[in-house]
Each structure stands twice: as structure tokens, then as C-alpha cells.
Amino acid sequence: MKYDAIIIGAGMSGLAAGIRLAMFDKRVVVLEKHYVWGGLNSFYQFKGRQFDVGLHAMTNYIPRGAKGRPLTRLLKQLRLRHEDLDLHEQNYSLISFPSAKLRFTNDFSVLRDEVRREFPAQRDAFDNLTRAIADFNELDLSAPRQSAREVVRRFVTEPLLEDMLFCPLTFYGSAIEHDMDWDQFVVMWKSIYMEGFARPTKGVRHVLTLLTNRYRELGGELRLRAGVKRIVSRTGEAVGVELENSEVLEADCVLSSAGFVESMKLLEPTASAVGCMPMRTGNPTADAVGLNGHIGRLSFTESISVLNPGAMPTDATIIFFSNRDRFEYRCPDELVDVDSGVICMPQNFRLDEPIAPMVRVTNIANHAKWCALRRDDGVDSSVNVPADWGQGLGARDQGSGSNPQSPIPNPLGNDAYTAAKQACYERSINAITPRHLADFRPQVSMIDMFTPRTIEHYTGHLGGAVYGSPVKRRTGETPVKNLYVMGTDQGFLGIIGAALSGISMANKWVLQRDGVLTERDA
């Protein structure tokens, strides 16, 4: 059987694209190399507790009935009701720098008032910037690329305010060091400052259950542990994939959420040598360095502390912090930069039922440094931790039959990698407490941590680059016909953004092109 479309990756974009295609009776299969769906936004169980891999909050929150926003577009395209998402709003979030603090909520006027209080001289600048953002059409994909830093500096002349405004937006979605594309900045500004944060009580699991159920109800096929060994192409045209188990699947179209470089690497060597290299992106810097320039440099560690019931080191939902007034969003020279980051307290959303309190700290980390550390498998596997975890791009990366639901290396191990995790966890917590929230260390009941190696393994993104390539491909097109990228490397981020990316790529490259509207029935 030949599929209308093969989708690589059962993350948010892959599942959303799958739903769209199954909805209109396309023959579609979603291939996921792991045992479990979700990709960058997956979940796992560790010591009997449920954890989300990536999710702090869903952005783009709007109440039911608000019109023309990304969330409403997503709901309609997937035929979901607002209440299906079980969204609960944040208390408030904080941008916390040594010399100033800005609070924001899902009501934009709170941020505006805070800026006026902390930066009275910048009030007009902020209002003008706000207006420029409101007037900019971020959906116009033909707009020329501009540096967001440069645009913002035309309005905001106080560097501290500039850095504070950038801090949450870069942490939640910039694949570019110390900057963003202006259109991406506008997308993030609207989704975080003007719309806002919310969360389902059960976290990302809830969203994924909703999507996988909808996909299956519509008759879509989802294959887990179905890693793609290569994308099969003939004369510069993708015609299917070969799986790790050597099974070949044919299709008219391949939609890949594996990332742009990652997808190119899945093409047969001949195809890439003849037709695809060097990649032309239109970006001179990226073109000069070839594919390597497409690999993102921003990866992260996530230090998770589960606290005793009732512990409340802060009532803030999310704190974006920098311990230096000049905020640096760059790959650090050392393992991790603990002096800036994001602190998330998922229990501080306005949930209907209490969840176990925890503190999640995200710090920028150096993938290469983490990969250079020796990791002793014997130690880890003896305590029910899968041997295939955190191995970078090694041969065993595709899984070796161990349980992916408890993917976190043993914190008691004695190899260099595990020791570095322990040290970085300590440093990460020391850097935030009591500066940004009350010292919670006496109340910690359980610790978990993951690193760029974990992320690379889980997402397949080279370099553990959470936000993918710094060079986005807005139309999804690649040098190979019928192969399209979606998700992170198409340029839309976050749960809502990634799902919308999958939807728009499925609409554009399968449903619309496929003669749903024209030739077939004409």
C-alpha cells in the first residue's frame, strides 16, 4: 500500500498534521522512534511520579470566545472545544534581574504598569514598541528577516529593559544566540505577554491524550518504536522511508518533524551529494558554513526538585531570571550557565486539584561539554535505568529494549557524567535561592535532572538544540521534492505553535495541493 503521507515524529506537529490528514480520509502513518509519543513535549514516569519532559506552560492562552488568535485557530482545525484542553491560568510570572523586577500576568496592562513603575523614562518607548508589534503581521512569511534586537533598540533605549523583555521570549523559543528573528519575537511577544500562560491539570499528558485519541478515532495509524533509517528518494523526489527494521514504506509525501539537518541526513548519501549539498538557505552566513550552520547551539539542562506536600517557596508561576543585569542568551563555555534561567512551579497555576509541588529550573547548557563526559553504563543499568539513555548519537541510540518510561540516569552513579549532573544541580539551585524564591532545599523529596544529551536522545535534535536550527524554513520546503519539514525547524514553537505548524504544512502540502479542491473531482 502506498500512503498519501508519511509523518516522521509523533510530537505536537506530527500528531496535529496526522489529525488533519486522517480527518479528510488520507492514508497516513505517523512514525515515532520512541515507545512513547510527544517528542520534545513528552512525559515519563520516575519513581512512581509523572513528569513532563519539556512543558512548563502552554503559551497563547486566551479565554473561550476570543477571536482570530492562534489558540482558536488550532481548536477549529482540530475540531476541539476550548474546555477540552482543561486550561488553568497562571498566578503571575516574574522577570527578575538584580536591578529590577517586572511582573506579568495574562492581562497585558499589568506588564505595562510594571514597566512604567520600574522604567518611567521608557514609558513612551514601551508603548510605541507595543504598537509596532500589534501592527506587524507575523503571518506574512515573505517579510524580510530582521534582527529583533535591532528593531527593539529603535524604541527601547534602556539596555536593562531591553534585556528583561527579551529574557522570557528567548528562553521560551529562540534558536538564535542572543537574538531572535523579529517576526519570531512578535509571535512570542503576543503569545506570552499579550495572551499568556496556562496549563492543563495533568500537564502535557492531557494534551497528548487528546491528540492521539482524536487521531486514532479518525482512523490514523500511529507506529511507535518505528525509527526511520533513511528517507528514500528517487531523482530528487522523496518517495518513502525505510524503517530501522528495514521495512520500506512508500508515500506521495513525507512530512518530517525530525529537524531540517536531521532530515537531510536521513536522505541517502547519493541524493544529498548530488542534489542537496551545499544547502542554500538565502542566509549568507549559513550558506558559507554549510549544514553545520543549521545546527542550533542552544541546549539546556532541566533540574527538577519535587517538594514535600504543602511546600511553597513562592506563589509565582514562572520566574525568568538573570543574576547579571546584562543578560546573555548564549551557549556557555562551561557545562551550564547557572546565572540565568527559568524557574517554573507547575503547582502555581490555578488548578482545580492540587498537584505535587515542584521547582523546575532550566539553564542554558553546552552540549559538547556534556557529551565529552564519560558515562558508565553498568552503574546506571543496575538500578533500573535504561542503558540507551543519554548516549548521544551512539549506535544504541534507537533503543535497546529497555524501558523508556524511566529515562533518567541514576543520580547516585559515580561516573563523570553523573557527577557533573550532581554538581550542576547544586550550582543551579544555589544560584536561585534565596535570590528569586525562598530556600526550598530542606523540603526536597526527590530530584531529577536532564541534560543536552538527554534532549538529543529524546528529540533527535542534533546538539540537543531544543529550538532547532537557527535558520527556519517557513514554507517547509526542502531541496528534495515532496519532503517538507514541520515543527521546530519550520519556525513555530511551543505546543500551540508546533501543532499549528503541523496543521499548516498538512493543509498546504497535502490537502490543498492534492486536488482536494480542484482537479480530482473537476
Partner 1 sequence: MQDSEIKQAIISIIGDIAPDEDTSNLKPDVRLREQIDLDSMDFLDIVMELRKQYGVNVPDTDYMQLATLDSCVNYLRPKMQGKTLKV
Residue ranges in contact with partner 1 by CB under 8 A: 24-25, 64-65, 67-68, 72-73, 75-77, 79-82, 503-504, 507, 511-512, 516-518, 521-522
Alpha-carbon span 332 to 327, nearest angstrom: 12
Nearer to partner 1, 63 or 278 (CB): 63
Q: How many other C-beta atoms are found inside a 10 Å radius of the C-beta of residue 465?
A: 28
Query: Which H or E run includes 165?
Result: helix 159-171
Nearer to partner 1, 438 or 517 (CB): 517
Task: For the CB of residue 21, give the shortest distance to partner 1 in the complex, in Å.
Answer: 11
Q: Would you call 296 helix, strand, or coil by DSSP?
A: coil
Give phi and psi for 230, each to the nearest 5: -155, 155
Query: Which H or E run includes 103?
Result: strand 101-104
Alpha-carbon span 11 to 498, nearest angstrom: 8
Nearer to partner 1, 190 or 453 (CB): 190
Give phi and psi for 102, each to the nearest 5: -125, 130
Task: For the CB of residue 252, give the shortest distance to partner 1 in the complex, in Å.
Answer: 18
What single-letter DSSP state applies at residue 511? Answer: I
Nearer to partner 1, 218 or 318 (CB): 218
Task: For the CB of residue 220, give the shortest distance to partner 1 in the complex, in Å.
Answer: 16
Give phi and psi for 300, each to the nearest 5: -145, 155
Nearer to partner 1, 124 or 519 (CB): 519
Q: Would you call 396 helix, strand, or coil by DSSP?
A: helix
CA 28, 33, 34, 37 torsion-angle sign:
negative
> Can you name the residues that pair with 243 across neighbouring β-strands?
228
Furthest CA-CA distance within the chain = 71
Query: Which H or E run includes 342?
Result: strand 336-344
Task: For the CB of residue 130, give the shortest distance to partner 1 in the complex, in Å.
Answer: 24
Q: Which amino acid is residue 383, in one-letter code?
A: V
Task: For the CB of residue 67, give the shortest distance to partner 1 in the complex, in Å.
Answer: 4
In whole angstroms, how large is the CA radius of gyration of the chain? 22
Task: For the CB of residue 134, give the shortest distance to partner 1 in the complex, in Å.
Answer: 18
Task: For the CB of residue 517, give the shortest distance to partner 1 in the complex, in Å.
Answer: 5
Nearer to partner 1, 308 or 518 (CB): 518
Alpha-carbon span 31 to 393, nearest angstrom: 19
Q: How far is CA 107 from the centre of its chain?
A: 24
Give residues with Cβ within 8 angstroms of 108, minimum separation 6: 193, 194
| Torsion angle (degrees, nearest 10) of CA 118, 431, 464, 288 | 60
Nearer to partner 1, 26 or 453 (CB): 26
> Residues 440, 305: contact at Cβ < 8 Å?
yes
Task: For the CB of residue 379, give the shortest distance to partner 1 in the complex, in Å.
Answer: 52
> Can you name the residues that pair with 248 across neighbouring β-strands?
242
Nearer to partner 1, 218 or 251 (CB): 218
Nearer to partner 1, 69 or 330 (CB): 69
Task: For the CB of residue 73, give the shortest distance to partner 1 in the complex, in Å.
Answer: 7
Helical axes 123-135 vs 108-118, angle rounded to 10°: 150
Nearer to partner 1, 71 or 180 (CB): 71
Task: For the CB of residue 65, give the shortest distance to partner 1 in the complex, in Å.
Answer: 7
Nearer to partner 1, 26 or 473 (CB): 26
Which has the closest alpha carbon to 33: 242, 224, 208, 257? 224
Q: How far is CA 131 from the centre of its chain?
A: 28
Alpha-carbon span 38 to 22, nearest angstrom: 18
Nearer to partner 1, 67 or 326 (CB): 67
Q: Alpha carbon of 294 to those of 278, 279, 315, 356, 480: distances in Å? A: 12, 9, 39, 39, 17
Task: For the CB of residue 504, give the shortest distance to partner 1 in the complex, in Å.
Answer: 8
Task: For the CB of residue 82, give the shortest distance to partner 1 in the complex, in Å.
Answer: 5
C-alpha cell at 518: 480542484
Task: For the CB of residue 232, give the shortest distance to partner 1 in the complex, in Å.
Answer: 29
What single-letter DSSP state applies at residue 508? Answer: I
Nearer to partner 1, 239 or 498 (CB): 498
C-alpha cell at 499: 501543532
